[in-house]
């Protein structure tokens, strides 16, 4: 039997891109899914599609920047499935621009989603995982969480923070909670759609010209989850073969 079959998995940012690809892949392997995002129409379509194909999925509209919403998501997951085995903290925002453009509102938005969103998810599921004495936190960082490049200083700072949180979870796990930090390179998602600076958008388009499909990251997440309970895959970096950054 697959190590994934029967596990209850929460996925944030599940309405498109990496979240959607991961949801479909885990459903095929027998996971019980709670899908979360802000766009209810897409969540409902995805949930209906998974269930129609013989999978098991529910959804809840949730904004990761709202701590109460994240707690409600965890509560609903436990009410629906009885436990929480995995949290995939996938929701993220990338808005690139040189620092001297002073896009402070975009800095705030990235901090709220990329850092606070991860923390609020952790706060919501950690008590249940401690009670179960088992669990798995999978955080989506980025290659920008390993190297800084012009126009990405704040985005990189948020993704370095995600990497630090993943390591903190590992060190404080007490042998109960697995921690996986996954750092994608250029992947086909909506991530570049939110860049407002023309120069940064041009650079991102060039970088993403070699982007790989979301399934590549879904396979990495699946690999981490399906390891036996005494195996903790802590760090994965997945880039297109042609990507230099």
Q: Three-state SS across 33-90?
A: EEEEECCHHHHHHHHHHHHHCCCEEEEEECCCCCHHHHHHHHHHHHHHHCCCCEEEEC
d(CA 215, CA 38): 22
* Token pair in block for residue 86: 């995995």
CA distance 94 to 97: 10
Mean pLDDT of 234-239: 98
Report, as an integer, the average pLDDT of 99-119: 98
CA angle at 227 for the pair 224 and 229, rounded to the nearest 5°: 115
Segment 150-163 shows an average pLDDT of: 98
Cα 15 to Cα 44: distance, rounded to the nearest angstrom: 9
The reported pLDDT for the residue numbered 190 is: 85
Looking at residue 84, its pLDDT comes to 98
| pLDDT of 245 | 86
Are 37 and 26 in contact by the 8 Å Cβ rule? The answer is: no
CB atoms within 10 A of CB 83: 16
169-190 tens-digit pLDDT: 999 999 999 999 999 999 998 8
Task: Judge whether residue 234 has pLDDT over 70.
Answer: yes
- Pick the catalytic residue from 59, 81, 120, 155: 155
Q: What is the arithmetic mean of pLDDT over 220-236?
A: 97
In sequence order, which residues have a C-beta less than 8 Å from that of residue 97 and are 6 or more positions away? Answer: 103, 106, 151, 195, 196, 197, 199, 200
The answer to whether 96 and 204 have CB atoms below 8 angstroms apart is yes
The pLDDT of residue 2 is above 90: no
Q: What is the pTM of this model?
A: 0.96
Give the mean pLDDT of 212-222. 97
Task: With a cut of 60, say whether residue 1 has pLDDT above it.
Answer: no
Closest CA to 235 of 129, 152, 138, 153: 138
| pLDDT of the residue at 189 | 86
- Please, what is the average pLDDT of the chain? 96
Q: Identify the pLDDT of residue 184.
A: 97
Residue range 116-126: mean pLDDT, rounded: 98
Say if strands 56-61 and 8-12 run parallel, antiparallel, or are unpaired: unpaired
Which pLDDT belongs to residue 191? Answer: 85
155 φ/ψ angles, rounded to the nearest 5 degrees: -60, -45
Give the mean model confidence (pLDDT) for residues 217-232: 97
Confidence class for position 216, pLDDT limits 50, 70, 90: very high
Give the pLDDT score at 127: 98
| Burial environment of residue 29 by CB neighbours within 10 A (0 to 12, 13 to 18, 19 or more) | middle
pLDDT confidence of residue 235: 98
Q: What percent of the chain stands above pLDDT 70?
A: 100
Catalytic residue flag (residue 120)? no
Residue 184 host element (H or E): strand 177-184
Q: Measuring CA to CA, which residue among 69, 93, 85 is closest to residue 135? A: 85
**pLDDT tens by residue, 42-95:** 999 999 999 999 999 999 999 999 999 999 999 999 999 999 999 999 999 999
């Amino acid at each position: 039997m697959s190590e994934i079959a029967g596990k209850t998995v929460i996925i944030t940012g599940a309405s498109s891109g990496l979240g959607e690809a991961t949801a479909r892949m885990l459903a095929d392997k027998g996971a019980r899914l709670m899908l979360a995002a802000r766009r209810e129409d897409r969540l409902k379509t995805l949930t209906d599609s998974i269930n129609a194909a013989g999978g098991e999925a529910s959804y809840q509209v949730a904004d990761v920047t709202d701590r109460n919403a994240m707690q409600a998501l965890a509560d609903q997951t436990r009410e629906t499935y009885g436990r929480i085995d995995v949290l995939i903290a996938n929701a993220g925002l990338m808005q690139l621009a040189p620092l001297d453009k002073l896009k402070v509102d975009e800095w705030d938005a990235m901090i709220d989603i990329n850092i606070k969103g991860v923390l609020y998810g952790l706060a919501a599921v950690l008590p249940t995982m401690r009670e179960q004495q088992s669990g798995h936190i999978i955080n989506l960082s980025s290659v920008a969480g390993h190297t800084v490049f012009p126009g990405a200083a704040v985005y990189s700072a948020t993704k370095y923070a995600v990497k630090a949180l993943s390591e903190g979870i590992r060190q404080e796990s007490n042998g109960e909670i697995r921690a996986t930090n996954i750092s994608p390179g250029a992947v086909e998602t909506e991530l570049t759609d939110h860049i407002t600076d023309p120069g940064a958008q041009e650079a991102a388009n060039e970088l993403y010209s070699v982007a790989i499909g979301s399934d590549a990251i879904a396979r990495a997440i699946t690999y981490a989850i399906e390891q036996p309970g005494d195996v903790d895959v802590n760090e994965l970096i997945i880039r297109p073969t042609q990507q230099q950054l």
